[in-house]
Amino acid sequence: MFGRRLTIFKLFGFEVRIDLSWFILAVLITWSLAVGLFPLYLKNLSQSTYWWMGVAGAAGLFVSIIFHELWHSLIARRYGLPMKGITLFIFGGVAEMEDEPPSPRAEFLMAIAGPISSILLGVVFYGIRAAARAAGWPAAVNGVFGYLAWINLILAGFNLLPAFPLDGGRVLRSVLWNWRGELRGATRIASQIGSGFGIVLIILGVLNVLRANFVGGIWMFMIGMFLRNASQLSYRQVLLRNALEGDHVRRFMEVNSVTVPASVSIAQLVEDYIYKYHFKMLPVVDGERLLGCIGTRQVQTIPRNEWGEHRVGELVRACSSENTIAPDADAIRALSVMQRTGNSRLMVVERDRLVGIIALKDMLQFLALKLDLEGDGE
């Protein structure tokens, strides 16, 4: 879902990050407010005032989305769910969970907390606007607070649509989960509804483009595509978790894994290992002892003409919980580590010895075979 992200601060122990795509949204919102919305409703202000209002409105929306996602995160933590943090991206924000909620009640409370927080924040901004007007504050200030009151109510309303994985879709899933007694079937139905909403938005986006509303149509089309893909991905993740439940890493790991001696040159690493086996990450060993791993990112730090002068041992990355896992660990745990770190392969380590490699593609192949033979359980 995300590309390059920057961590900007921590809030109540949660890392708040910005995906680079958020800057596109921030520029578009500032421009649309300064050129379109504020001049339409507040006449005869200077152009510089409109632009400062646009910046303030975009900043207020930034705070509002963080506030919304923070409440998701706080409720999730209350129920023991590990959280990766909060990430802002081009379609808004998301509180990133590492696991599914433990119960329908937890799902419901976690989902509904976001829209309720946005409604409350909208009421607060409306109250500030009313007090500011009574106190005779400048029209520009009143306009920004009025916009923030309105946009928070819109944010709450949109998120309450029963389209998974929006908050309303998660509320729907919690109800279905409580009624059916199992998560997979509830996710399947909620995801199908979410995908349906996505298709409707795509069609409306195309119609708007044909009616010369190009910007609005493109945004509607993109949101529809995102919603459809996110709903389908969420269901596949639940299927994968159910398929792996109860299985250990040992079952999926490749025992005869390719390893690299620390004494090998970078040039030989590239030619004889990376290009030959097509792996972006390889374990580095000294005899039977695992030293760590090396990947294409480390290689890129060395100029091409100096590859023959440097050894793998100089660039080896130490073993950590982000690139290793125990053979008796739950396979779902391995999947969570991969999702959190973005690694598609983990070294399976027992004491300081490499016993295998577990790859995401192998787990996905297992899922495909299981679904082919057993179906999705419906």
Q: What is the CATH number of the domain that holds 292?
A: 3.10.580.10
d(C-alpha 88, C-alpha 179), whole Å: 33
Q: What confidence tier does 372 reach under pLDDT thresholds 50, 70, 90?
A: confident
pLDDT over 70 at 3, yes or no: no
pLDDT in tens, 121-168: 999 999 999 998 888 888 999 999 999 999 999 999 989 999 888 899
Same domain, 61 and 141: yes
Same domain, 11 and 158: yes
CB-CB neighbours of 297 under 10 Å = 11
Last residue of a domain, one of 244, 260, 282: 244
Same domain, 192 and 324: no
Same domain, 122 and 188: yes
Is residue 156 classed exposed, middle or buried when 0-12, 13-18 and 19+ CB atoms within 10 A define those classes?
Answer: buried
Question: Can you name the residues that pair with 286 across neighbouring β-strands?
Answer: 289
Contact 170, 109 (CB under 8 A): no
pLDDT in tens, 188-200: 999 999 999 999 9
Q: Can you give the pLDDT at residue 20?
A: 80
Q: Can you give the pLDDT at residue 203?
A: 94
DSSP assignment of 61-130 equals HHHHHHHHHHHHHHHHHHTT--EEEEEEETTEEEEEESS--SSHHHHHHHHHHHHHHHHHHHHHHHHHHH
Q: Can you give the pLDDT at residue 4?
A: 67
What is the share, in percent, of the chain residues with pLDDT greater than 70?
97
CA angle 202, 205, 206 (to 5 degrees): 90
d(C-alpha 259, C-alpha 271), whole Å: 14
Contact 255, 246 (CB under 8 A): no
CA angle 246, 247, 249 (to 5 degrees): 140
Annotated catalytic residues are 69
Last residue of a domain, one of 244, 263, 285: 244
Last residue of a domain, one of 195, 216, 244: 244
Question: Does residue 362 have a known ligand-binding role?
Answer: no
Same domain, 228 and 258: no
Contact 207, 220 (CB under 8 A): no
pLDDT over 80 at 339, yes or no: no
DSSP 321: T
Using only C-alpha atoms, what is the Rg of the chain?
25
Long-range contacts of residues 43-48, Cβ cutoff 8 Å, at least 24 apart = 45/139, 45/140
Half-sphere exposure of 160 (CA within 13 A, CB side): 13
Q: Can you give the pLDDT at residue 375?
A: 63
- Cα 203 to Cα 177, 208, 218: the distances in Å are 30, 9, 11
Average pLDDT over residues 231-248: 81
Residue type, 339: Q
Same domain, 285 and 264: yes
Determine the structural domain holding residue 349 and report its residue range. Answer: 249-374
pLDDT in tens, 169-188: 999 999 999 998 888 889 89
Same domain, 235 and 103: yes
Same domain, 336 and 228: no
Same domain, 219 and 290: no
In three-state secondary structure terms, 11 is strand
CA-based nearest residue to 364, from 325, 324, 335, 341 = 335
The tokens of 146 are what? 């009025």
Crossing angle of helices 139-159 and 47-78, in 10° steps, is 40
Question: Does residue 167 have a known ligand-binding role?
Answer: yes
Same domain, 26 and 64: yes
Question: Does residue 72 have a known ligand-binding role?
Answer: yes
Contact 88, 62 (CB under 8 A): yes
pLDDT over 60 at 1, yes or no: no
Same domain, 213 and 310: no
Q: What confidence tier does 58 reach under pLDDT thresholds 50, 70, 90?
A: very high
The tokens of 208 are what? 């708007």
Same domain, 164 and 271: no
pLDDT over 70 at 233, yes or no: yes
Picking from 101-115, 221-235, 266-280, 361-375, which range would have the lowest pLDDT averaged per residue? 361-375
Indicate the pairing of strand 289-295 with strand 281-286.
antiparallel
Q: Can you give the pLDDT at residue 202?
A: 93
User: How many domains is the chain partitioned into structurally?
Assistant: 2
CA angle 26, 4, 366 (to 5 degrees): 125
Q: What is the mean pLDDT of the chain?
A: 87
